[in-house]
Structure 1
Amino acid sequence: MNTNLNNTDELRQIPIVSYLEHQGYRPAKPENSRGEVKFLSPFRSETKPSFSVNVNKNVWHDYGTGEGGSIFDLVMKLWNVDFIKAKEILSKGTYKQMFYRPSDTHYERQRPSPFTDIRASPLTSTYFLDYCKERCIDLDVAKEECHQVDYRLSGHMNSAIGFENDKGGWEFRSPTTKICTCKAISTRCKKEGNTTVCVFEGFFDYLSFLTMMKPECRQKYDYVILNSVGMANKAIPILKGYKSVRCYLDNDHAGKNAFDIIRKEVNAENRSEKMLPFNDVNEYLCKGLNQSTSEQNV
């Protein structure tokens, strides 16, 4: 596969099947008469292949979540990066060295993490606190729930807002960064005996929810942050331990599919509709709606 390409249109033509095979994913079913190749989804563990690549159009579709698109969409979702980083990965051919393969697949890499010199400290940077302000997050909430993390990646030191997941990895966010050290769910158990759990797609939605809540109400619930809708299946065993499951996923196709996955297994309530016409909790918050609301309103 020729990876010495810099033009976006040329990069888009990199065969998705070849890219997946270079990552260690092998077709579960050969190409059929419609030009489709089936894989076990790279986003979750499964026994029946639900991930399809159309080799004629060079596009993919995940029947488990309803997501799909070009090779850029695949790389962005697979490694939780933005378009610019996805283009860099493809154009430099460094995708085999830069990241772990998602840890919930059958092909986890057996080599050291590319993230080194990770050092977490209290969130005090004016740069990151201003970013939280821009996203309407209460700074006391941000300081309590997040860290300021310095880390080395590809030989360069970086800093970001860090939100820890249940595998001891980090979700990193900044005005220019959206990346993670490993794929995993984040759980936050606020008080022993809680019977209600709230589910969010990303941790800024979780921070937004806490910002909207009165401080005395925040401890009434436990929280599950998927960090990716592809982790919905992984959340099921956790959610089954609660009497009430409230889902605040994005108001888009992927979010609705993730809710359907959860609803099939637990008695879940779709609270995302309360955020309409906005896409997610953070957007809802940033429009200035009910920032001092109680839990009855959200």
Structure 2
Amino acid sequence: MNLEAVKNISMQAYLQSIGFEPKNQSGNRLFYHSPFRPAETTPSFAVRPKQNDFIDFATGKGGDIIKFVERYHNVDFKEAVQLLQSFDGMVKPESFSFVCHQETKQPFQLKKVKALDNRALLEYLTERKVNLSIAKIYLKEAYYNTKEFALAFENDLGGFELRNKIRKFGTSPKTITSIKGKSKVAVLVFEGFMDFLSYLTIKNIETPEFDTIVLNSTKNLHLANDLLSNYAKIFCVLDTDKTGKKAFLEIFGNCQKSKVIDCSVRYARFGDLNEWLMKNN
């Protein structure tokens, strides 16, 4: 699927595939509860189906479907395109009439979390070149809403980071995940669990060499600052995009500079460690 075809993927269909239905209509716009604010009660996110674009009135930000995926999944342009290329488009927008429309969509609900054994999820991890026996130590499979499922990575407060081939999201409460390593001399810092599992796969180890912090989002970095100050060395295995570089600079500025090491120089031509693993298996 080329870039033009990706841009033409229906915003309405994609939103429906990740669990969002329009709540009302005004002129040529369909209004949704914002995907960026799960607790929202008044729809503030609008889509123009004909133009295939969106605007988030709460922030004034908008754009095409690629911009939406970048922001919703917290990824860069390249990974957003890759996510959209994997969208099969089988979910189609339903005809929309507010005269007889009844609210039937259930809010997000985590149904079940169990040991990882789902064939589709294991195949997804195989595509990402992650060692399955290692993945099963740290990941579970979660079922939500009706029949949807995702990989589940637990954080320190019992919430889960959820990810499948189409979607990256999570449950509350949101925070970092800290993992004990073989040594407390240093700490490894990752943005997400896929890079953490890629590191273990590359090293072919089940336990990290050093204590590890998975941020689960760079927005959680402030929650890790006090922990990071306790280590003699901080190995930052972050993404190479603007968000990753900004997080590194924040760590570099908050801690003694001589002990902060940027490991992304080893995979600088790639978006993150998992992309390096996939291309250099």
TM-score per shorter chain, which class? 0.5 to 0.7
CA RMSD of aligned residues (A): 3.4
Task: Give the letter aligned to residue 244 of structure 2.
Answer: G
Q: 1:210: which partner in 2? A: 200
Of residues 258, 268, 278 in structure 1, which corresponds to 2:260?
A: 268
Work out which structure has the larger RCO, using CA pairs closer than 8 Å and 6 or more positions apart in sequence.
1
Contact 1:186 1:227 in 2 (8 A): yes
Unaligned runs of 5+ in 1: 21-54, 61-68, 92-113, 290-298
1 CA distance for matches of 2:132 and 2:72?
A: 32
In structure 2, the CA distance between the partners of 1:72 and 1:146, relative to structure 1 (3 Å rule), is closer
Task: Give the letter aligned to residue 185 of structure 1.
Answer: I
Residues 48-87 of structure 1 aligned to structure 2 (within 5 Å): 58=61, 73-77=70-74
Of residues 172, 178, 188 in structure 2, which corresponds to 1:198?
A: 188
Deviation at 1:231, TM superposition (A): 2.0
2 CA distance for matches of 1:158 and 1:179?
A: 13
Q: 1:48: which partner in 2? A: none
Task: Give the letter aligned to residue 273 of structure 1.
Answer: V
Q: 1:184: which partner in 2? A: 175
Of residues 107, 111, 122 in structure 1, which corresponds to 2:115?
A: 122
Number of equivalent positions: 212
Q: Deviations over 1:136-183 (max 9, x none)?
A: 00011111110011122xxx3321111111221111111122111133
**1:282 and 2:271 aligned:** no
1 CA distance for matches of 2:163 and 2:71?
A: 20
TM-score (norm 1): 0.61
- Percent of aligned pairs with the same amino acid: 29
Task: Give the letter aligned to residue 190 of structure 2.
Answer: F
**1:243 and 2:232 aligned:** yes
Task: Give the letter aligned to residue 283 of structure 1.
Answer: E
Deviation at 1:8, TM superposition (A): 6.8
Contact 1:197 1:239 in 2 (8 A): yes
**1:138 and 2:131 aligned:** yes
In structure 2, the CA distance between the partners of 1:72 and 1:136, relative to structure 1 (3 Å rule), is closer
The SS at the match of 1:120 is strand
In structure 2, the CA distance between the partners of 1:208 and 1:75, relative to structure 1 (3 Å rule), is closer
Q: Deviations over 1:177-217 (max 9, x none)?
A: 211113321111134x512111111110000000011327x
Contact 2:73 2:169 in 1 (8 A): no
Q: 1:254: which partner in 2? A: 243
In structure 2, the CA distance between the partners of 1:197 and 1:264, relative to structure 1 (3 Å rule), is same
TM-score (norm 2): 0.65
